Amino acid sequence: MGDSAPQVGVIMGSQSDWPTMAHAVQILEQFGIAHEVQIVSAHRTPDRLVAYAKSAAERGLQAIIAGAGGAAHLPGMVAAMTRVPVLGVPVQSAALSGVDSLYSIVQMPGGVPVATFAIGKAGATNAGLFTAALLANNDSDLAQKLDTWRAEQTNSVAPHPVREG
């Protein structure tokens, strides 16, 4: 995004994960957070995965949002090779509706953490928002944008239901 060096990496195991991961990217763009987006498959492009993970810190990434479906090894493998915080997004799968992805990402052994979010769109959205909150700790402009966004979200909820009928 833009001319500034990316602060956040958004990676996914395949092109089919994009409709889910686009929600994380949308949040990053909304807050003006410089990011990069790449397909990095744990199973089909293992050398790309190793190179990406091992270079993440030196390239200045502050967080990596990693989405994967099925066996969903991408977030954990990346976390094993970098000190950059990894946020895992389970992508809904055809076989088990994303429960397999969730279990694969959330069940990391002690010592290799992956912050794991909900399956699908909600998880990708929240991973983007969590990343914004993480970066806002050291960025007062971003903190103000996030505070404003949260206030607008609160104000958008009606105090009473619309009664139909």
Position 1 pLDDT exceeds 60: no
What is the DSSP secondary structure assignment for residue 157, as one 8-state letter?
S
Q: Does the pLDDT at position 6 exceed 60?
A: yes
In sequence order, what DSSP letters do the residues of 55-109 get, joined into one string?
Answer: HTTTTT-SEEEEEE-TT--HHHHHHHT-SS-EEEEEPP-TTTTTHHHHHHHH-PP
Please, what's the largest Cα pairwise distance for the chain? 60
User: How high is the pLDDT of residue 15?
Assistant: 96
pLDDT confidence of 50, banded at 50, 70, 90? very high
Mean pLDDT of the chain: 96
Packed helices 140-155 and 121-136: angle between N→C axes, nearest 10 degrees:
140
Do 131 and 7 form a contact (C-beta atoms < 8 A)? no
Per-residue pLDDT tens digits for 111-121: 999 999 999 99
Quote the pTM value.
Answer: 0.94
**Cα Rg, the chain, nearest whole Å:** 17
pLDDT at 94 (0 to 100)? 87
132-149 confidence digits (pLDDT tens): 999 999 999 999 999 999
Confidence (pLDDT) at 95 = 85
Residue 3 has pLDDT above 70, yes or no: no
Say which DSSP state 161 is in. Answer: P
What is the tens place of the pLDDT at every residue in 29-41?
999 999 999 999 9
User: Over the stretch 69-108, which tens digit does the pLDDT of each residue have?
Assistant: 999 999 999 999 999 999 999 999 888 999 999 999 999 9
